[in-house]
Amino acid sequence: MKGVLYYFSGTGNTKWAADKLKEIFERYDLQLDLKSIEEEKRADTRGYSFLVIGTPVYAEIEPKIVEDFISTVPVTETQTRCIVYSTQGAAKCSAVRRISTELAKRGYDVAVEAMIEMPNNFYFYFGKEPSDKKMRRVMIGAERKLRKLARDFSRDREQKQRTSALRLSVGAFAGKTFRKSIPKISQNITASGDCIKCGLCLRNCPKGNITFEGGLAIIHSNCILCLRCIHLCPENAILYKGRRINQTQKDIIKHLELK
């Protein structure tokens, strides 16, 4: 059997999980093609036996780039089996059930819903910076969960984490409120004089939102707060409210196919 995994990953967490799934699935004779939502724009499930969607979570829900992509998934009458997984700094979220519900409307049989806790990359705005010890513990737990996901799916077992109606309602409100606040929050992301104009942030911004002006990287108003520029900068020159951010994702972000 061969499936396709469409993912969006800002700083590498969701791509790390995709790479792990591909590796683990091979042990069950399941092939998995990985495709970035940034590159593909539209879903194409022709020639695949199953579909996997991987998303990060921004304040309980999927980022708009993922929401828009889900609307391009073709309707099917074959009840194609499907996996939906999320990566986030908390144990649970609303994103997975939101995506699963939309896919079910399009005729897919969502057999697995998984919420994978990963290191919090947005700790400087909300939460606490994860210690090295906690990051190791979280990563071990995430891999264990992915192994169980693959095993259950290969044996035609369902695996779904419960999401209450209250959480879905509150999560939708929180997520949409956060989306509206993104332009204001992103105004606080700037480059310091340490910028060496290497172009990494410019080339890898999913929205093409960065330019060089006056010898510095300038973040414009189309930011989606994926935080990629902060965590990939070789000089740690991207600041939030004038402060340097500890690049906790500097190893995980290497899973992205950077330009």
Question: What is the average per-residue pLDDT within 41-64?
Answer: 96
pLDDT of 113 reads 96
Q: 70-81 pLDDT, tens per residue?
A: 999 999 988 999
223 closest CA partner among 211, 235, 236: 211
pLDDT at 30 over 90: yes
- The residue written with tokens 């095993």 in the block is 151
103 near 82, Cβ under 8 Å?
yes
Q: Would you call 14 exposed, middle or buried from its count of C-beta atoms within 10 A (0-12, 13-18, 19+)?
A: buried
Q: Please write the tens of the pLDDT for every residue from 142-197.
A: 999 999 999 999 999 999 988 999 999 999 999 999 999 999 999 999 999 999 99
Quickly state the pLDDT bin for 206 (edges 50, 70, 90). very high
d(CA 2, CA 16): 20
Residue 44 is predicted with a pLDDT of: 95
Token pair for 81: 């089996």
Q: Is the pLDDT of residue 126 over 90?
A: no
| pLDDT bracket for residue 215 (50, 70, 90) | confident
Residue 141 in this model has a pLDDT that exceeds 90: yes
According to DSSP, residue 50 is labeled E
The domains located in the chain, with CATH, are: 2-169 (3.40.50.360), 184-255 (3.30.70.20)
pLDDT > 90: what percent of the chain? 92
Query: Phi and psi dihedrals of 51, rounded to 5?
Result: -125, 140
Residues near 52 by beta carbon (within 8 Å), at least 6 away in sequence: 3, 4, 5, 6, 18, 21, 32, 82, 83, 84, 85
